[in-house]
Each structure stands twice: as C-alpha cells, then as structure tokens.
Structure 1
Amino acid sequence: MATNLTIRPIETKKDRKAFVDLPFRLYADDPNWVPPLKGEALGLITPEKNGWYSHAKVQLFLAEEAGKVVGRISAHIDTLALTMPAGQGFGPGVGQWGLMDAEREDVFVALIAAAESWLRAQGMTRALGPISQSIWEEPGLLVSGFDHPPTIMMGHAKPEYRGWIERAGYAVAKELMTYDLDIRKEFPPIVKRIIKSGENNPRIVVREVDKRKFEEEAAIILSILNDAWSDNWGFVPLTPPEIKDVGVKLKPIVFNDLIRIAEVDGRPVAFMITLPDLNEAIKPLNGNLLPFGWARLLWWLRKPKVRTMRVPLMGVVKELQSSRLASQLAFMMIDIIKRACVEHYGATRSEIGWILEDNQGMRSIAETIGSSVNKVYLIYQRTL
C-alpha cells in the first residue's frame, strides 16, 4: 500500500467536482462506459438537488495520492430503509456504500475502511453495497455484460472490482439482472392467444398516460408501484421530494405511447414504463452540454430515434399478482408498447429490468416473450 495515500471526507464544491470527474479518467479507454452529464452527476450528490437526501445521511470520501485523486466512495444511510422489515434486505442497523471507483485495490481497501468506519460511528451494524445512492438509482455491481453499454439509469464498472469487494470480506446479498429482447420478433403463439383474449375482454382497458396530466398520472403509477413492490427485497417507498426530482429529470423522455396503465372495471391495477435509451444520445457528449451538446440533445428529445428502449418499472397490484390476469395484463402492455417502440421510434431491442433473481413471476414473463439475460449485477453485504 502506498504510504502517501490519504482518505478524506469531501468538504467543498471543488471536492464534489473532483468526485464527479474521477470516472472520466478511469474509464477513458472503456468503449462501453457512458459518461454521465456532469451537471446531473453533481446534482446526484448535492443535497439541495436530490430529494432522496430528505431522508438520508451521506458522507462522500476522496482518496488522494501525491495531490492526485485516485479513488472515491459514498457512505450513506437511508433512514426510511432502516424502518423496513429486516427480511427484505434493509432494516435497523443497515447502512450502504456506493459510487465507488478506484485506481488500485489498495486504494479501494482504504476507501471501504473509511466508509465502514463512518457507518459504524452512525450506529450501523451491517453494510450493503454498492448502492449508488438510492435503491431506485443504480444498485449493484456489474459482473456480467461488460461487452455492451448500460442503458439509462443502469451502472457500469471495471471487471476487477468484483474481486476487490469479495477479498474485502463481502458476500453476495442479492443478484439483479436485466433481460434483452429483440422487439422486431413476433411473440410465441401462446402469448399471442393470451393477448387476444385480453383484448376481447371488455373489463380490461390498457390506456396511454396523458403527459398534460403529469402529476395526476404519476400519482396513479406511484400508488400501484408502492403496493406492487412493497414485499420486494430492498423496497423503500418513494417520497414526494424524490418524485418531484425524478419527474423533472425524466419528463423530457416521457412519451404518452411508451407508458401504459391497465385498468380492470375502470380501476387502475397495473402499469408499465418504457424510456428511450438516453445514453445513446449523451454518450457522444462526454459529459458536457457546452458548447453544442445542449442543442444536439434538445433536437434528439423532440422525437427520439433509438436502437434501444428500457423498461425500468412495471407492476401489478398485489391482490392480482398470483392470478392469470396479472400475466395477461403484463403481456398486453408489453405488446402495445413494443409495437410503438418499433413503429414510432425505430427501436430494435429493449432492455427489461432490473429484476430480482428470486422474482420468478417477472422472470417467467421476460423469458416467455423470448428475452434472455444480458447483464448481471450483485449487491454485497458484510457485518460491521
């Protein structure tokens, strides 16, 4: 270990900029890393710009050597996560770390030690990571699927990080995966029959959202989400400040025909959100909207033409989850949105997820329509 390596908590705006800038150097030669917009990355770690901080405690650390930043990490505690059932992954005494990058393993060892020390001082007894920073943002370490870029709001990492984390004494807590689907292909006959049956059922309506009623539609989706996902591992309810910030961030890539709400007897019971892969548009910008990046991005947002769509969220209310109707509604929404993706946006593939390894219902739906796992992420844990 280098004797002149120092780990310190960040204190200034300059430190935050250095925190954001480090990955641009470490991943400069990685063709599959997508440089985030620096303004967005700074907003993520700025309390005034991230609603998640309304229920979180955070300490960011920088590793420096000979005046050069060589690593970074975030230690954080989601106070809402502390109130969740322990059997669902979080619960009392569980802190997290994330936003981890380092030049070498000895740098990582020093960073994780600093993060763990801070968590212990806050009374935490177990650490989960990487979670960067909310479970709703970029959870997990990429361990499979390094050969193609991540989609919007999914993470990338260096392959060696897995060994560093495991040699530091961490064991796998949960596996997350995404599925790749060629949306130009027809669904299997059995799926078509299920969809047709649903289309002939007058009780079922699958409708577009109305972006003009953004807040009203978001409230409907949130209500279904918080019910549908409430028993899932790692679930933490979204709060009004987070919803507001997410709305501002995602509203430019929300399109009516890509988000659907399924109603049964006039009651909203399921939803599916699909987003054009913004990463395809921002990757060439190398993190900067100036001098001309903003104009290119605005032009793209007018009517995106993309190769890839991402399905980050879908859900069915709990009372229907064990019924045949749940999968029927899912297949109907997928089919309608799939056709819109191809016809209106020129897309050829979709990435579904992330999906928990033990979410057999969602995995079965993904596999039945012909998709296959393309990326795997791991969340690790360790007793402090």
Structure 2
Amino acid sequence: MNSQIDIVPVTGKGELNAFIDCAYRLNADDPNWVPPLRADMVELLTPGKNPFHEHAKVQLFLARRDGEVVGRISAHYDELALAQPPEQGMGPGTGNWGMFEAVDDVVAAALIARAEEWLREQGMTRVLAPISLSVWEEIGLLVKGHDHPPMLLMGHNKPEYEGWIEAQGYETAKRLFTYDLDVRQGFSPLIERIISSGERSSKITVRRVDKSRFDQEAAICIDILNDAWSGNWGFVPFTEAEKAYGAKKLKPLILEGANMIAEVDGEPAAFMLSWPDINHLQKNFNGKLFPFNWAKLLWWLRNPQDAGFRVPLMGVVKKYQNSRLASQLAFMMIEYIRRYAVEKHGAKRGEVGWILEDNQGMVAIADAIDSQVNREYRVYGKTL
C-alpha cells in the first residue's frame, strides 16, 4: 500500500482502452453494476464522435501502482456551462471531474488532487463533481440504492466512494432523486378526476410521439426542454449538433406509446419521454454487442416484455409552469404511458428521475402518484 502512485494523462488509444477497462475490472464483483457498452464509452470519450467535445475540454487520467491500473478520473470544463448564471449552479470558473474509479482511499485522493490541479491550470476556481461528462449524461454519486441495479443512463458506484470524496473537502451541492413506482396500480381518485377533467377540455390534446416524423418530434421535445429547464440548477443548453446526435442515439429506444407530447390550443406545451430499461438485458453483455448480443437487443426492443420503464425527461413550457395546468398535463402523460406500458409490455415498475431535491413541482407530482425514492445521487462542490 505504500508503493508510489503515478497519475498519468491518457494520450493514446492504448491508454484510452485501459481507462475504459478500469471500470469493468474494479466493478466486476458488484452484482448490481451494469457494464456499459464499450463502444458507447469509446464514442463518449472521443472528440469527433461526441459533440460535447466541440464546446468542452477534457483530460483523462489513469492511476498506476507498481505498473497496474488502480483508478481513473476525467477532468473537464464546458464552455456552455461557464456561460450560465452562477446562481443556477454552473457559471464562470466552474469545472468538473467524473468517470471516477479507485481501488482505495489513497488512490482516490491522488486522482482527485490531480483533477483539481488540472482544473486550476485551466483557470477554474470551483468544481462540481462527479459529472460524467455532462449534466445530460451520468451526474452525481450514488449514495442510496446500492442494493439494486440502476435503470438505463443512471450511474452506479461503490458505497465507499462517498467517504473518500468527502475526505477531500467536498460538500453536498445538490441532491438528486429517482422515484420507484408500481405501474400495475392505478392512481388515486383525485388524480383520476384531474386526468378526466383534462380529457374533457377542448384546449388540451395529449398525443403519442409519431415515429414517422421522428426528427420533427425530437426537435419539439428538445425545444420544450431548453425552455422548461432553462432556469433549473445545472442546466446547460443543447447545441444543434447535440440535438441531432442525441436523437439518433435514442431513436431505437422510442416506443410511440411510451412517449407523449401535450398541446394546449394546438401549440406544444409539454412532453414526457419513457424508455424501456435495457439494463436488465445489457447486464449480461459484459459491455459487448458482438457477435450475438446486438441481435438479442434489437429483437427485444421490437416488443420488450416484463420491462421496467424509466421517465428520464419531461418538461412544461415556462408560460404554464407553476400552474394547475402544468400538473394536469403531467398526470395525463404519466397515466397514458402507464396504461401503455402495462397493457402492451407487461410492465410492473417504473422509475421517474432524476429529480432535483428542490424541484417542488416534480417532487409534488412524484408524491401524488405514491412513488417512493429508491436512489439518491449527490453532486459535490468545492472551491479550488
């Protein structure tokens, strides 16, 4: 344990592969860790493949002890995040680190110190972490919910990381929750009356996403998202390249009946996305699609059965926020997705989130449908 720890920057393909492999090796003994697809990890971390790199600077680091890789970390900053108002969490001088893995607290301390040093060299004065790599990907450290696997696009880490990070002077900046829901059960009479009232209104239309017009539908959802979330903590807007990239990546997960757009007086007013949880299938892939796993995945996505569904994103345009209409639209979309998932795909559970701890509107909706917090993530802050 007293051997020297070397923290080296990732500079080539071999080191990038070692960086990616580190997570598979260090989490191999965790039955609830879901190996991401290796091809997705290469794409995420490669400039020219992931448009995040067009407005961000990223440096990856490996930790070695006696020649063996014993940890990793990314240090990065996003020019779009730097341009956000400081009161919304990001703002000038705010850098990040993420993609964090370590075998022990000594390695963890060395990795975090090197990431902080790099961020200072780039002119950063504070750090929010872990964020891997942007707020639209994996954000926060899992501090509650280690006893079950995450749904798709949610992180999972060793419980020891919480103490190791806090020992380096990090304090909680924000808590994020996911909510678990038994979707086989209908909602309370009050919620049903709210939904029925919306169905009788000539002003409101809630419709399924039309996959034959996928590009236009995706643009509608992202435009609502950019408007609805623009005042939220941690918000960073999508670029046009990211809109196209995200739509292409997520299209295979789109089942028309599980994704809704709400219109008020014929104008898009809200959306809700729900995706079948591919993690329970991908868990046994060990990060590889070839030679046969790609066919298993595509076949399953044609008609997923007994799958959980995750609601990762929803939004209501600002003009209707903080109104009864906003919650009415949300309840209507949730109920329509619930019915579809149960009747068509035999779904038993759903997960909503992540939701910011102080997003009172969404927390109230989650409480109203009798969902329960099943996972808590923590974003830490520190002055550099």
Q: TM-score range by the shorter chain?
A: over 0.9
Q: Is the 8 A contact 2:224 2:315 kept in 1?
A: yes
Q: Partners of 2:276 and 2:153 in 1: how far apart?
A: 11
SS at match of 2:74: strand
1:274-333 superposed Cα distances (whole Å, 9 cap, x missing partner) = 000011221111111122212211211222224310000011111111111110000000
2:48 partner SS? helix
Partner of 2:222: helix, strand, or coil?
A: helix
Q: Match of 1:235?
A: 235
Q: How does 1:121-270 map to 2 (within 5 A)?
A: 121-270=121-270
Once residues 290 and 93 of structure 1 are traced to their aligned partners in structure 2, the CA distance between those partners, rounded to angstroms, is: 42
Say whether the 8 Å CA contact 1:54–1:241 is kept in structure 2.
no
Letter in 1 for 2:346: G
Q: Contact 1:56–1:77 (CA<8 Å) still a contact in 2?
A: yes
Per-residue deviation, 1:216? 0.7
Q: Which amino acid aligns with 1:230?
A: S
Q: Which amino acid aligns with 2:7?
A: I
Matched, 1:311 2:279: no
Amino acid corresponding to residue 270 of structure 1 in structure 2: A
Aligned to 1:290: 290
In the TM superposition, what are the counterparts of 1:74-113 in structure 2 within 5 Å?
Answer: 74-113=74-113
In the other structure, the counterpart of 1:56 is 56
Equivalence for 2:12: 12
Q: Percent identity?
A: 59
Equivalent-residue separation in structure 2 for 1:372 and 1:197 (angstroms): 26
CA distance in 1, matches of 2:307, 2:182: 10
Q: Which amino acid aligns with 2:121?
A: A
- The superposition leaves residues 135-181 of structure 1 with CA deviations (integer Å, 9 ceiling, x where unpaired) of 00010000000111000100001000000010000000000000001
Aligned 8 A contact 1:271 1:314 in 2: yes
TM-score, length of structure 1 as denominator length: 0.99
1:337 maps to which residue? Answer: 337
CA contact under 8 A between 1:276 and 1:306: conserved in structure 2?
A: no
Partner SS state of residue 107, structure 1? helix
Moved over 2 A (4+): 1-4
Quick one: distance in 2 between partners of 1:304 and 1:51? 30
Aligned to 1:72: 72
- How many residue pairs get aligned? The number is 384
Q: Distance in 2 between matches of 1:255 and 1:20?
A: 31
> Superposition RMSD on alpha carbons, in Å?
0.9
Deviation at 1:215, TM superposition (A): 1.2
Which residue number in structure 1 is paired with residue 353 of structure 2?
Answer: 353
Range moving further from structure 2, 1-10 or 310-319: 1-10
CA contact (8 A) 1:258 1:340 kept: yes
Contact 1:176 1:354 in 2 (8 A): yes
Structure 1: runs of 5 or more not aligned: none
Q: Deviations over 1:174-212 (max 9, x none)?
A: 000000010001101100000000011111100111112
Query: What is the identity, as a one-letter code, of the residue corresponding to 1:275?
Result: W
Q: Which residue of 2 aligns with 1:40?
A: 40
Structure 2 unaligned residues grouped into runs of 5+: none
Q: Distance in 1 between matches of 2:341 and 2:226?
A: 27
